[in-house]
Chains A and B, each alone.
Chain A
């Protein structure tokens, strides 16, 4: 997230409507969802009635009780305001998105010719329709780029103004409705029907049905309600103690003590924290189906990551040519390059590139060579090229050996050249292949006219910086498991290079599911991401299943989160957001409870001063008068809510420094800080209100 977005907390477009919303939320039905603030509102009503009675009768210290009343109501309003600001941030986005959705026109293509299209309303598009999007056009709905590459401005969703590249075939083929193409053109196949697009879901997420309380939130609410009840007992018994001591205490002061003691700070900010947590995910282009899933993300113990695209770059790249004896590297490179000329796969292209870089073999024109391309099929597991009088094949080692060893060429024409499978060359080739596999590479055998030439070494390129991320995860206490279809030898080599804790080689949907169940049986929470239909069972079984937006419908329905960018490394950020959410709640609860010590020191001496003046020694802050002391405490209590709104929206920063260190850090900042800050704050407020003569 960029700094620009964090600063948007102070956006007046959010703040001004939030003020109005703060008053609207005084509705008792809305307030009753928040037990702590409901109690504050109830006692505020009580003191307001008492104030009006005193006003009518003209007795009592009206100026003082008026101010207390005002600050009591401010406490409630500030809480409402915090919630409204949190909601407003998402709402502002949703509003602009809704505009985009309704006004979009789409260029619906009927054939492959991109000049033949008709204009239709964006909302009328169906799944499977293919549309053309050109510079300046708004992408009408969620979809997948099937042709072309374009730079897209996704600011409407992500708030990030720097354009992103969306292209066919790669990781970044998904486009989101409501975003705008800036340059070039793309053909997009629509993947979401009107009403179920990202926009629609985001809108319903922010404005839609009631936000469900998450399990930890419920437990925390119980604790807060319990603390509130304890302080009901602590304050409600004071009048009788005072009567015993021969004094009496005005109700307004008891209410002031009560409201400052109960955990109003966390009570006021609790729902804002929850909303902001969801909002952070949305800004990360991740849609969580429930708050429960976000919380579960913070608890994840085991992370299953697909090798391809997550740990390694999506494409394997050719790194060297390893000829068998009697063949030169140049020959092998030449043959491999010819076989790959028409091969559009990333592996094929990388062979052409390597041949050019290392052996200066230029690109050749297929047509002038009179060559026909033999594409890869699942049966032959080879691809290649047929030249005049010559055949070149490349493919998996066993496939090529089978092809060579069969003694017959799969295409007719030339005389077959038999090669004995037992020959030295075969053994040598296998040795090379094994060596490559052990090092984490993939061997690709090349044969020409039934004669083995050598092996092209394809290597998985581990993404830059991924090792550091895994060690960070380890410090967070999360175990990473790499999932790959490779053989165990290759998998082990890549796992070691990437620094994952464990790997599952030759993964099948079944053993993926088994792995998840085994981890869960040990009491661990498992997160994984997936995109294919065969990932669906595992996604459903995982505690946090992140489906890629580019993935199949089955996968998306099985997961409890959808990543719009289809970026599997995001799991790491999702975990951090989950942790941040919990930490913010914990930190503000600690702060809120720790505040009580200073408040006691402000109010107790003030409250009992008339009949036990000796208790004045407890006024260690040296507050000016009993009235100013009580007023300062209640003002501090209300203002601290406003002061902490930015923190509750941004969240307490998570650091992967180990739980012990993190806890001592947070205890120091929010626990010890929570004890000290109110002493300073109350004293400062006391000085101000004394100076301006409010008390």
Chain B
């Protein structure tokens, strides 16, 4: 570890913290329907869209209607995307003449982009036409992010409203998230990326002659526009197979910093939206602080593990940190930081190969995802994820102060507990059960790239990434097989919608409750005590489940490495 490395990490954290308030304030105004500096331009467009869709911003939905709208919208998205991939050979904007995408891969990819996962069992530049990338995948990059934000806003309203019935209007929330937040920022970022050297073209791939005289095809395309939302919407699906390790998708240190900032910006800002909407910004800061504690510890471990490198390599005379699978232009510190950020949030973009990390360096990304990506997390998704943990934490702690547990004046009772437990349960269900089947299924085991515990980690990582809607890959595993395409797709659906529905049910139940005023008998949820409680709950309730699996994967791999054994 170097001072320079830590300074860069600190700089990153500092910028994120500085962005929280302005972005949170802006998003609060947007979701409250207040005027912003973009209103003169966007309000007519917004109104027009509502008129076409036959809805109105004054129309509030009960949580069931909200959830139904959301599910229908996402189902429609899956069908359109699937059809586009199957038919792309006959559709325009296909200069490289890409063939139709096979059915299982189309299913996997459609689900992957709709669920904000962006798990990619394909290489973009060798599978997808420009049309599919732009009109299919990229559209879902926007709306899947907006969907997550809408759910979070609906849940926040459950706390800020009292004795209500409705939690907002899904169509309005989603439209506003896209129109006022995602699109404007992405337009700016796209231009910045183009300036930094990222290609943005509809022209065909370029043929080049190398020094040896060989022909080389250099893939191009509308990269910058996809890159902007891929990071900002925590989607993570790369235009190129190498994702943000590709020089065209992440040319230099500045583009790397902007990408990392984009991942956390909205998620961190949401804690402030929450604080503002419930009338006490400290509540939001307390949540962000809990996330921050887990984040900094994770970065510390991964950076330390990567900087320490592999003792077996050291014995061979190769000093220094672990540079396998890393880009020299990013180095150990920024690769470690990127890996922790991308898995803490549900982004899944990578600028280094996680499978090439040391065992402990790769352990943290795994744990980040297994905790349900609540460390800042996906746009909106991270927020409603952490609310589920808050409900469990506040319930047990609330009992310990001798009152029916409450959070921000809303009583946490059997219904909320049932939904929170259901949502928390679905992650280990998808992650562990699929891993358990794949670990003994010969055809599934055949896909792994490395024998021994590392191979086990590859399987565990794949299902963890899918169910957590992350989308980053450990590498090594050949995922494009019918088995993995289908089961990973199911995992993504479970991890997305079996959390969303309970989260909205909680919103529906809480919004109807009275807000109990705080007294000396209610414990404060905006101080260090709450931060410690929440961190403990996340680690114990979210983490203990995975202890055996982690022991047999990265932990044993690390111990075996120390003992000098390789596979």
Contact = CB atoms under 8 A, between A and B. Distances in A.
A139 B453 CA distance: 78
Contact of A608 (B533, B541, B552): B552
Contact of B409 (A225, A227, A523, A659): A523
B423 to A, nearest CB: 10
A241 B456 contact: yes
A298 B414 contact: no
Contacts of A211: none
Given A233-B433, A474-B520, A659-B522, A582 B413 contact: no
A434 B545 CA distance: 72
A659 B399 CA distance: 11
Contacts of A244: 439-440, 445, 456, 552
Given A230-B545, A593-B541, A670 B400 contact: yes
B424 A226 contact: yes
Given A215-B413, A477-B522, A589-B396, A614 B432 contact: no
Given A223-B392, A614-B563, A658-B520, A597 B540 contact: yes
Contact of B517 (A298, A299, A522, A604): A522
A134 B287 CA distance: 68
B402 A578 contact: yes
Contact of A220 (B399, B422, B435, B445): B399
A223 B418 CA distance: 7
Interface in A221-239: 222-223, 225-227, 229-231, 233-238
A90 B166 CA distance: 48
Contacts of B562: 614
B435 A237 contact: yes
Contacts of A593: 396, 540-541
A281 to B, nearest CB: 15
A154 interface: no
A607 B548 CA distance: 10
Given A237-B433, A659-B523, A524 B517 contact: yes
Nearest to A603: B548
B508 interface: no
Contact of B395 (A219, A301, A671): A219
Nearest to A214: B404
B404 A295 contact: yes
Nearest to B162: A523
A618 interface: yes
Contacts of B422: 226
Contacts of B453: 245, 612
B185 interface: no
Interface centre among B432, B433, B529 (most CB of A within 10 A): B432
Interface string B417-451: 11001101100110011011101100001000000
A586 B397 contact: yes
A298 B433 contact: no
B524 to A, nearest CB: 5
A600 B544 contact: yes
B418 A659 contact: no
Nearest to B559: A614
A56 interface: no
Contacts of A666: 400-401
Interface in A650-676: 654, 658-660, 662-664, 666-667, 670-671
B404 A478 contact: no
Contacts of A222: 414, 417-418, 421
A635 interface: no
A585 B399 contact: yes
B397 A663 contact: yes
A596 interface: yes
A587 interface: yes
Contacts of A614: 556, 559-560, 562-563
Interface of B is mostly: helix
B399 A612 contact: no
B545 A234 contact: yes
A273 B521 CA distance: 22
Interface in A539-586: 578-580, 582-583, 585-586
Interface string B496-524: 00000000000000000011110111111
A36 to B, nearest CB: 14
B372 to A, nearest CB: 12
Contacts of B437: 240
A490 to B, nearest CB: 28
A261 B548 CA distance: 12
Interface residues of A, number: 73
Nearest to B556: A612
A596 B412 contact: no
Given A301-B521, A477-B519, A234 B548 contact: yes
Contacts of A233: 425, 428-429, 432-433, 545
Contact of B552 (A227, A241, A476): A241
A615 B399 contact: no
A243 B549 contact: no
A201 interface: no
Given A582-B402, A593-B541, A615 B559 contact: yes
Give the one of B403, B405, B421 with max A CB within 10 A: B403
Contacts of A582: 399-400, 402-404
A229 B522 CA distance: 31
A392 interface: no
B122 interface: no
Contact of B544 (A295, A523, A587, A596): A596
A238 to B, nearest CB: 5
B547 interface: yes
A594 B540 contact: yes
B350 interface: no
Contact of B439 (A243, A301, A615): A243
A476 B520 contact: yes
A522 B162 CA distance: 10
Given A237-B436, A478-B521, A663 B414 contact: no
A299 B404 CA distance: 6
B253 interface: no
B202 interface: no
Interface string A229-271: 1110111111011111100000000000000010000000000
A340 B13 CA distance: 82
A162 interface: no
Interface in A337-392: none
Given A230-B428, A231-B545, A523 B514 contact: yes
A474 B521 CA distance: 9
Contacts of A522: 514, 517
B401 A615 contact: no
Nearest to A225: B421
Nearest to B540: A593
A680 interface: no
Nearest to B429: A233
20 contacts: A216-B405, A220-B395, A220-B399, A225-B421, A226-B424, A234-B549, A237-B548, A245-B552, A301-B517, A301-B521, A522-B517, A523-B515, A582-B404, A583-B401, A612-B556, A614-B560, A659-B401, A659-B523, A660-B524, A663-B533
Interface of A: 215-216, 218-220, 222-223, 225-227, 229-231, 233-238, 240-245, 261, 295, 298-299, 301, 474-479, 522-524, 578-580, 582-583, 585-587, 589-590, 593-594, 596-597, 600, 604, 607-608, 612, 614-615, 617-618, 654, 658-660, 662-664, 666-667, 670-671
Nearest 6 CB-CB pairings of A with B = A477-B521, A586-B399, A579-B402, A226-B421, A477-B519, A586-B400
Given A243-B439, A582-B402, 15 more contacts: A230-B424, A231-B545, A237-B436, A240-B436, A295-B404, A474-B520, A579-B402, A580-B402, A583-B399, A586-B397, A590-B400, A615-B556, A615-B559, A660-B527, A663-B529
Interface of B: 162, 392, 395-405, 409, 412-414, 416-418, 421-422, 424-425, 428-429, 432-433, 435-437, 439-440, 445, 453, 456, 514-517, 519-524, 527, 529, 532-533, 536, 540-541, 544-549, 551-552, 555-556, 559-560, 562-563
